Every structure is written in C-alpha cells, then in structure tokens.
Amino acid sequence: MPNNYIKKIRKADFERIFVTETLPSEVPLMVSNDGFYQNSKTNGSAGVISNFIFGRLVLGQKRKKYYTIAYAYKIKKSASSFRKLAFVHPISQWEMKEFYEQFEKLICHFCSRSPTTIRAPRKVAGTYFYKNPLENLKKYKHAAVEEMHLDSLMRYSSSYFSYRGYDRLYKFFDSSAYLKLEKNYPYLKTFDVTKCFESLYTHSISWATKEKVFVKHNVTTGGTFGQKFDTLMQRANYNETNGILIGPEISRIFAEIIFQEIDCNSIDALKDKCNYLDSRDYTIRRYVDDVFVFAKTQEIATKVFEIYSDELGKFNLHTNKQKEANYVRPFFTKKSRVVHQINIIINEFTAKFLKKPDETATLVPTEIFHPDRLVKSFIDSIKNVCSVELLPYDEVSSYIISSISNRIKRMINFGDVEVEENSLIYLKDASLVLLEVIFFFYAVAPSVNASYKLCTSIILLSRFAERELSYFSSTIKQKIFELAIELLSGDIAALQSEVDGFIFLEAINVLLAIRDLGDDYMLPVRVIKNLFDGKSGYYHVVSCLFYIRDKPEYEDLRKDIISRIDNALADLGDISINAEKACLLLDALACRFITKTQKAKWIRIFYKGMGETAPSPNEIESFCAEANSRYWFVNWDEVDLLSALEKKELRHAYS
C-alpha cells in the first residue's frame, strides 16, 4: 500500500478514546464526541467558567456521589421490538479513558485467549490506513470545515484498538475461512444469547479474569483489573450490577472478555467430558454473542450446544430458543438465498442505465426511455422475490439501500471534467430514478443504519447537482425535497412510538440531511412539529434546534424548544449524576441561537446546583463570547454532515 495512505497514530493521545469507545454509533447525525475531545485537549487555555464546568462535569471534582446515570434512549430493533442504548455521562467517559490508559495491555491480553472469536482487540492501534477508491467524492465536502481538524478526528473514528477477525459478520460469511469450514464440516448449528448485555452481571468480569471462588471471597477488596472494570461499569450505570450499558465499544469489550472465558471453558469441558477436540470434531466461531458451531456430525453439534449453553448459564446467560437453527451443507439460509437473488436483480436493473466504461470505480449513465416504468419494474421484481420466499422488506431493505447508495457514489465519482449536454440529462434522469428507488425501500422498512446510507445519498446528490448539473440542480433538489416531505408526512410517521425514551432516529436523520439542500428547501412548520411536538428529550431538542436554527419562519417553534430546555435545566443539583442534563446544558451554552440572557440564567442555576457563588456579570459575558467557539456534542456552526456520515460508514483498517 502506498505510504501516503499510511499514517501514524499518537498512542499517547488517550483522549481519542472519546471518539472511538464511549458513545453508541446510533446517534443523530450531528451528535458526536468531537467537541468533547477538543475541549479535553484545550481546556487549560479556557476561561474561568469553562474550567469550572469542565472540572465539575468532566473531571467530577467535589462530587458527592460516585456514580452517574446515562442518558438512556430506545430505537427500533424490529417492527415490534426496541433496542435500548446509552449515552454515557462525561464524568464516566473520563473514567473510561483513565481505565484504558491504565489497562490497555491487559484488555488485549484478556481478549486474546479464545480461538473462537472472530472480532476481538489485538493491540493498541499504532497506524491507520485508508484508501478511498471513490477519491473524487471528497470535492463534495464543505471547504469551510477545517480539513486538518476533521482528518485528525477521522483517523480515530473506528477503534482505539487494532482488531483481529472481522468488523462485520457478513464479511465472515463471505470469507475463504467460512468456505473452508463448510468444506471440513457438514453440519452447522447457530444460536445467540438472549438479552446478552442486559443479563451480564458486572461481577462476572472478575470471574472471567480470575478464579470465581477466589473473587467471591474477596469481592470487597479492590485493585485487580477485573474488580476495577466491574466498578467502572457499575458507576456508569447507576451502580447497577445486573446488566451493562448498550452502545459504547467499551461495553462490547467487557462482554468479549467474559465470552472468551466461556469459549475456553466450553472447549475444555468438551475435551474432558466428551473427548471432542476443537478443530478436529468441531469448530466454534463467535461474533460478540452470535455463536456458530461447525461439526462433523449432528450429534457432536448438539453436544457442543449443550455444553456451551451450560457454560453460559454459569455466567447468568441463556440461549435464545427462537434464534436456534440447524443446517446441513450447503449452508444457505433463506435470507442468504433472497439476498443472492436480489443482488442479481439490482445488477440487472442498474445495468440498464449505468455502464462501467473502464477499470475505474466510476459508473456512466446512459439514456433512460421510461423512468417510471423502470422503477416500477424493479420494485415489482423485488416484491416478487420477497413474496415467494415469505420474507418481509425489513430483512432486505437495508441491503438494497446500501447497494443503491454505492451506485450513486460511483455515478458521481468523476474528476473535474466538463460534462456534455446529453450527459447532463442522463445524469439527471439516473439521479431521479435512484432517488425514487432508495426512498421507496426506506419508506417501507426504515432502520437507523439504512438512514445513514440514505442521508449520504441525499447530501451527495444535492451537492453533486449544485456543482455539476447546472440548471438541473433545482430539479434534483426539488425531487429530494418532495420525497422527504412525503416520507416524513406519510407512512413513516405512523412508526413514531409512544414508548418511553423512544428516539425516531430514522426520521430525525433524514430531517437533518435535507437541511443540506439550503434555505430554499425548508420544511413546513407542521412537518417539524409532527416529529418533535411535546418531546423534551435531549436528542429531540438539539436535533430540532439544529434544523430550525435562527430562521424567522420558525420563531415560535424555537421559543418553544428553548422553553423545553429551560424546564429541563430548572434544577441542576443532580447534573454531576444525570447525563442528559449534563449534555443538554453543555450544548445549550454553546448554541449561538440562544440568547446570552438565557445562558446567563443557566450558568447561575448551575453554580447554585454546585453549591457555589454565581460568577460576576463580566465573567459570564466573557464565557458567552468563548462558549460559541467551544462546542461539545453538537457543532452548531461548522459541522459537515457528509464528513460525519463518512466517519460512520468507513471502517478503517488498523495495523
């Protein structure tokens, strides 16, 4: 690989943990820890109030209680179930950073014991490399954003550690290693763990890193790796010992260490009790809590399952009966079969109007004679496959959206060359067709991960049209706008849930993405109200405020949102514990769409909650001038959503 694509990572920069390890990936587009990272590096040069805030809300100075309560929220997991995620309090994030700083080598050690895992930390990342075959897409990023600053954050956006194995499960299924296993073993049994993270007992980490009997008799004596990890995870989760927070990478590492102990115990038990040897009679492969047993006979597969289930039970974990499946070669699931057929349909569909002229990654549009007929024919073909196989759209829509998004990228991936008139028309028509398709499959089965692909396509096509399509630019933007209104006002709105803590990220992300169309394509107030009416959660208010900003047509809505923030911050006595209040205050104080008078009020409430005398008017004035340039989790001014999306989509490879 050329040296210009390999860069060193400064290992001593432990604050990079904030942008890799401590937050869920499923957050609104403009929410990240980038500002937190920057403030942790530059706080020494901040003013009096900024230093006071950092000391109390990050370093946890003079706190009376040594636990925090994460901001918990729920997203859709399926049509009828939800996934609970957690945004960790800044104080607990700082403690996680200190834990990595002390124990990074032991984390790698305890993640290196099992031969079954296909995703585990190997060592602290020392270099990263990234080569983008779609190099020309970078011209669609906003030049106003500091490129060097973003690049420094981009390199840390995947993981603090270098990982062995596969960063996505589908890559394992597509690998030569999987084919070799299928060649060697005729039987496959798959299963997963029921409510894995919710069921993990924090003390289990000590059992997994030291003898259980010893730990039980010495549970009050701190100091070991396992006991400190146990305490860390408890403190971040309201001192709970049953269950760990879902979302942060550190939680997956916590689970991985426990599962590696279960792996090793299972292999030993199978040898001692059944005389079954790993890699001879069977092979286990595990991705987090998904387990795959390859075996010489069905009897061996069943026995491996029984032993593994028994070892899980010793850690208060249990298999999910509904997810058990047995296969005999060839290992081809219904979903795999459908995806294979759909892939053929997608290739045939796009080949009708997108040609690959050479060995580059670019696709070149050709003439489309009947766009509506083409779209309908494609959707009908997908519909037919799903109907025959009795598989709902939910199972395949994300794959389709990802495939279409990749083709959009390849279509607009050309250099600074002048486009002929006919080619402009072809590009316009192809863009419209692809937009129709990608919005359709998102509308019928939206998901958070698919929203990132859709939003990337929206922003890329909008900027591409503005830069390359001349007078067709408004046609593309208007189409995006109309499809977005139809989406946010139509059937997707019915998916809004009244479940406590539910965040409709599938809709919020689309709302944020179409903000990139510009001021001429602002959504009607009724559409925005439909999404945010009566909701005062942290993600709701910052997302709404980020969209409406200081536009006069949203004046009443802005006042309402700020009033909701004001109500949430009326009492800050528990802000050192409550992550939602901490994040909301930090972002509200940095927001330039909120008046100095309002910010001064919150600063005085904060000082009162900390039991301190309020700062002087001059200090508050100085802080307000500084705060607008020291954002935390929402960058109100310069965020480039395309770069934010790229950080979510790219999976850097580490050496």
Q: What is the secondary structure of 258-273 as a DSSP string? A: HHHHHHHHHHHHHHHH
pLDDT at 377: 98
Residue 502 has pLDDT above 50, yes or no: yes
Q: Is the pLDDT of residue 284 over 60?
A: yes
**Residue of 304, 414, 396, 279 lying closest to 357 (CA atoms):** 414
pLDDT in tens, 513-522: 999 999 999 9
Q: What is the largest CA-CA distance in the chain?
A: 79
For 459-491, what is each residue's pLDDT tens digit? 999 999 998 888 899 999 999 999 999 999 876
- pTM for this model (two decimals): 0.92
Question: What's the average model confidence in pLDDT over 132-151?
Answer: 55
CB < 8 Å & 24+ apart, contacts of 429-433? 429/353, 429/365, 429/367, 429/368, 429/371, 430/353, 430/354, 430/365, 430/368, 431/461, 431/464, 431/465, 431/469, 431/476, 431/479, 432/371, 432/475, 432/476, 432/479, 433/353, 433/368, 433/371, 433/374, 433/375
Question: Tokens for 244?
Answer: 């760990």
Residue type, 200: L
Look at residue 145 and tell me whether its pLDDT is greater than 50.
no
Alpha-carbon distance of 654 to 445, in angstroms, equals 34
Task: Calculate the alpha carbon distances from 68 to 71, 160, 237, 596, 615 in Å.
Answer: 10, 24, 6, 29, 26
Whether omega for the bond prior to residue 330 falls within 30 degrees of 0, making it cis, is: yes
Does residue 157 carry a pLDDT above 70? no
Q: What is the pLDDT of residue 334?
A: 86
Q: What's the whole-number average pLDDT of the chain?
A: 89
Q: Is residue 135 predicted with pLDDT exceeding 90?
A: no
Cα–Cα nearest to 588, from 613, 618, 566: 566
Sign of CA dihedral 387, 393, 394, 398: positive
CA distance 253 to 121: 8
Neighbours of 353 (CB within 10 A): 21
Q: Is the pLDDT of residue 72 over 60?
A: yes
Residue 149, pLDDT > 70, answer: no
Least confident range of 408-417, 479-488, 498-507: 408-417
- Contact by Cβ (8 Å): 567, 537: no
- pLDDT above 50: residue 148: no
Task: Give the per-residue SS3 of 575-621.
Answer: CCCEHHHHHHHHHHHHCCCCCHHHHHHHHHHHHHHCCCCCCCHHHHH
The 10s digit of each residue's pLDDT in 540-582 is 999 999 999 999 999 999 999 999 999 999 999 999 999 999 9
pLDDT per residue as tens digits for the range 363-372: 999 999 999 9
- What are the CA-CA distances from residue 296 to residues 189, 191, 310, 368 (Å)? 11, 18, 21, 53
**205 Cβ partners below 8 Å, 6+ apart?**
226, 229, 230, 233, 254, 257, 258
pLDDT of residue 358: 76
Mean pLDDT of 517-539: 92
Residue 368 phi/psi, 5° resolution?
A: -110, 120
- Residue 11: count other Cβ atoms within 10 Å of its Cβ: 12
